[in-house]
Structure 1
């Protein structure tokens, strides 16, 4: 382990957060799991109920957008050749999933990325109150499925990896990496939402990683950030997840090359799903905190009207074997692999009012992760009304692991 500068103490609890939010306490889950409704205070119940209603409205809007995105795959299901190819793809990922070997499913990068770095805009440096660089490098990812290598290689913008690196002048320091959620790739938004300036001032270096098909990685004429994740069928989603893992590991290679050897990883929603998966693939992640994670996307989509109807129609037209689909979906699921960080280095955060990634999803991951630390708050997927409370929980969790 590197010696941390003696002037950098273990972070204190947050007191000056960038975004003013109510400090309504949540708690750690018990051995039984998440609390029942009767266990909540009246104030907590009111917040859970009202935030859940807001989430349902947001979920319907996003599901409607996804329905339009998936429309071409419904038309493709009418073509016999495309349906046959999709079944072959499902069988390929199902076979990989059945092996349960992360090294086979997610091959490691074989070369150090050639990183280009430039100063971020003045607003980013003002928010961080420090040195902020935008970095980029060419992805070395090759599609796991040989049948899709030509298609994936053709995504020109997506095959350039982007991240933002907040680094102290006397670094490297212990580094907190963040993976954003679906459609939520903006650096400024994530920096403020997750109070990253506070973590930076507390002594952490910070890296915000951009998922495939998001932000500057979105292909030309993409209607929104993240469109490509679901625009190429189930196989396309699998390859997007494989590339997300591969490119993040290349970013870790870069951090390691610059001298970083203490890395914590957190992520929200789709980013939480990716973070949990990475914790089963790369042993350089010393602490992992999935935040409102999705862990079974198929179950989640079942509740997302009208996207659930579009998926059902596509599967019916293609004559998809549901058991084959379920087996293939385990390819990118963190539930299919064992986590590498020790139990005391895992923390899961869930919102009781969340209806985009319901808290039951986080509870499934918690059980798979041997009932590790598990904190709940009474807000929903994007309105983390008790964020100061869970930031204090993150601080207590990370401090001894990253600085002592």
Structure 2
């Protein structure tokens, strides 16, 4: 069924010239120490980390603006008390550690509409590409928020792009983008999806809630709605991300797809790891530079961390309650469903947006599964050809065996 053998990644499918400086799999004790790296690897890790800090500050500044309205909410005692009630709701759900209770399955299959994508998409894929959409059947997990969440008209229309072979359906690789990074063209090129397509996969690019065409009118940037409605809003955004992807799986299953692998970057890595704990139709999962405890990650993001600290101080937030509530959507709170040999984690040693320690936490929770590192940062994936070879060899037995 495969059109080409995935033993190498041709340069023409990579979006930019990327140094092929080899990374490696983690050892039994985890990621390498600095002393274990070659001089060239240390130089790349250090320089890419500095570049990542600048990017992190820019994104954190945007998040700070997004979170300003929550400061006003913290000053309102009634609103602050309501937020505490919401946190208790998610903390109780998290304590049960039951993914089916936390993330109820869609009640009915989606009614999908499809149209041809633009010619550029088909030129990039070198195949047939369709843009699909359907109405989300998601209802807020927290009953107190259902009316509010139902009011996001644009967000409640699910969007995805589907690359299909004429003789399909074929084993399908699904990709979930990172925060603010929803553009299909960017993700198709960044992850060398034309290469996977040439290896015989159909490909699906899934749009997260509040991103791209799902962003509400007048949103200042793609993804704004994820963090604009407090911690309860983030929890519901994650719940909707899982629900809508499961609806997409229903659609793929209806069209005859019987093998699905899932990967995602950053917030998409977080989401893919969570979905792999909820839906048993995932054959293999590859979180790429994932976060697993977003609250701890944001603690290091100046100036967003200062806004969060001020908001919590004004509202008198119970830190223990926040920690318990944030576990609701964390993949660390649930057991993965794919077998250990069908899990692969990828991390960048110079990453300062999703520090490699985050990926290492997931690796420990996932029973020391396959774990590959590269000497780059969050967006400059030095040694990307190396980890693409690792991915294709990892996936082939499950998807084409």
- CA drift of 1:302 comes to 0.8
Aligned to 1:252: 249
Question: Does 2:111 correspond to 1:99?
Answer: no
TM-score, L = length of structure 1: 0.98
Which residues in structure 2 correspond to 1:5-404 (within 5 Å)?
5=1, 8=3, 11-16=6-11, 17-19=13-15, 20-404=17-401
- CA drift of 1:110 comes to 1.1
In structure 2, distance between residues paired with 1:69 and 1:63: 10
Secondary structure, counterpart of 2:219 in structure 1: coil
Preserved contact between residue 64 and residue 307 of structure 2 (Cα < 8 Å): yes
Secondary structure, counterpart of 2:75 in structure 1: coil
In structure 1, distance between residues paired with 2:103 and 2:139: 11
- Structure 2 residue runs of 5 or longer lacking an equivalent are none
* Superposed CA offset, 1:347-385 (max 9, x none): 000000000000000000000000000000000000001
- Runs of 4+ in structure 1 deviating by more than 4 angstroms, as ranges, are 7-10
- CA drift of 1:10 comes to 5.4
* Superposed CA offset, 1:300-357 (max 9, x none): 0110000001000101111110000000000000000000000000000000000000
Alignment length (residue pairs): 399
In structure 2, distance between residues paired with 1:339 and 1:160: 28
In structure 2, distance between residues paired with 1:12 and 1:381: 25
Secondary structure, counterpart of 2:203 in structure 1: strand
In structure 1, distance between residues paired with 2:239 and 2:176: 15
In structure 2, distance between residues paired with 1:53 and 1:303: 15
- CA drift of 1:9 comes to 6.3
In structure 1, distance between residues paired with 2:100 and 2:292: 20
In structure 2, distance between residues paired with 1:13 and 1:115: 36
Secondary structure, counterpart of 1:77 in structure 2: helix
- Structure 1 residue runs of 5 or longer lacking an equivalent are none
Secondary structure, counterpart of 2:372 in structure 1: strand
TM-score, L = length of structure 2: 0.99
Secondary structure, counterpart of 2:345 in structure 1: strand
- CA drift of 1:84 comes to 0.4
- CA drift of 1:41 comes to 0.5
In structure 2, distance between residues paired with 1:117 and 1:18: 28
- CA drift of 1:396 comes to 1.1
RMSD: 0.8
In structure 2, distance between residues paired with 1:184 and 1:121: 19
- CA drift of 1:8 comes to 4.8
* Superposed CA offset, 1:224-252 (max 9, x none): 00000000000000000000000000000
